[in-house]
Structure 1
């Protein structure tokens, strides 16, 4: 029953029926409080609806538990850190992103969201450096990857 309900909730969310998905996932989370996958999906359903504060305990349970695929665990770190940033909890967001990067070093999306939190925490130079590093490592840098990587480390250098 849990698997069928979880699949139904995910389908509802994907079909744009976020509130119905959220209600089903809240009930699933109540019945399966230690299920990391249910917690992650419940967090996601809350975030989709702009209910970031309500997503927090679900993200915490998802990341504290076992059983998430690597992709979902990465998604949980990214979503949780982003949610904390939106809530103005910048130090906690940065801590979450750092934890995520220990497990998923180099992930571009995680580092990009971390850059936003760095900016919000008043660490704009680190934010720009992080973004430049992400760009330099991507396939979007064109023939400028070396220059972008250089300036990521020498941001304030001028002639």
Structure 2
């Protein structure tokens, strides 16, 4: 992780897998709430842009769908929850309207680092190497870091 920008560390662990790590200056309960409570998630998930929550069923098998607005552009994302272990892990599918029917499976793990710090690890597995490359080329890393900076701001205001 870069100490100057606090960007996420994004690495490819195989031609179909991406691993993301990011530390946050907040206790695990607050980071978990920011991921699991829609009133908080909607404030940071779309990089700070307006996000329409079309569907939010935070339970195993539940469906979610968000549309992020940036100027006259709209970007849709959706998935289904496979597993939810409070303050430990969320496993879900992820699909971006810009790459329809190319679904990744994301496992997000929350690690209590102590001293009111939390590490968030996300492992994304794609069906093919081309899908993985396509997502990386779509600007995923930049958008992710913008969202994480919005999450930093949300966590700072709830201290």
- Pair in the same fold by TM > 0.5: no
* Higher Rg of the two aligned structures: 1
TM-score category (smaller protein): under 0.3
Structure number with the higher helix fraction is 1
Relative contact order higher in (CA < 8 Å, ≥ 6 apart): 2
TM-score using structure 2 length: 0.24
TM-score using structure 1 length: 0.24
